[in-house]
């Protein structure tokens, strides 16, 4: 049952990821990206990380992708067709490099990662959210506060960058 769900979610995620990269209209890219996010959220929940899965749904599929849609509509990008690109040589060099990365990654993963047993029993009595909260507000309190400062800086920077120069 677990493998069935895993393969289903992986197939959905991978196919949508291919759509994200290769479809030509930005609107279609964003919609496929939302499907990728939902598939990944399902995988996270399958991995017993319910809290992260829900955050993924709310933050990524909800907020971030809406931001993308908003910008695409604001700039009217869907109407703008980039001219059929000549696909210069260096683009193909880049793609070849990426595929070579895949060919390097697979043997490394196969060699280094001890091949598989199924996941250990979690044996946790507290819920996933409780454990994360406890860690986040004790051990990782300082990074948590720094993250809030980073978000504040991002807000201010975004407003200033997107402001109309008068």
Closest separation in Å from C-beta 152 to other proteins: 10
Report the distance separating Cα 126 and Cα 60, nearest Å.
Answer: 26
Binding residue (CB under 8 A) for other proteins from 12, 29, 31, 35: 29
Contacts of residue 2, defined as CB under 8 A and 6 or more positions apart, other chains included, come to 46
Binding residue (CB under 8 A) for other proteins from 17, 31, 54, 57: 17
Mark residues 108-127: x for contact with other proteins by CB under 8 A, - for none: -xx--x-xxxxxx-x-----
Report the distance separating Cα 94 and Cα 100, nearest Å.
Answer: 10
Q: Does 132 bind other proteins (CB under 8 A)?
A: yes
Mark residues 56-95: x for contact with other proteins by CB under 8 A, - for none: x--xx--xx--xx--xx-xx-x--x-x--x-----x--xx
Which one, 98 or 125, has the nearer CB to other proteins? Answer: 98
- Rounded to a whole number, what is the distance in angstroms from the first to the last CA of the chain? 60
DSSP per position, 19-45 = HHHH-SSHHHHHHHHHHHHHHHHHHHH
């Amino acid at each position: 049952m677990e493998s069935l769900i895993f393969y289903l979610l992986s197939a959905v995620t991978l196919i949508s990821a291919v759509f994200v990269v290769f479809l030509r209209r930005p609107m279609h890219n964003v919609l496929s990206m939302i499907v990728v996010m939902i598939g990944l959220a399902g995988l996270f929940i399958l991995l017993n990380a319910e809290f992260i899965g829900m955050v993924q749904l709310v933050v990524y599929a909800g907020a971030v992708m809406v931001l993308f849609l908003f910008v695409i509509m604001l700039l009217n990008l869907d109407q703008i067709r980039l001219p059929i690109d000549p696909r210069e040589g260096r683009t193909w060099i880049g793609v070849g490099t990426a595929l070579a990365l895949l060919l390097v990654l697979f043997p490394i993963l196969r060699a280094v990662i001890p091949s598989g047993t199924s996941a250990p029993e979690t044996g946790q009595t507290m819920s996933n959210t409780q454990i994360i909260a406890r860690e986040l507000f004790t051990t990782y309190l300082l990074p948590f506060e720094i993250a809030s400062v980073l978000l504040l800086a991002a807000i201010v920077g975004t407003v200033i960058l997107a402001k109309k120069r008068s």
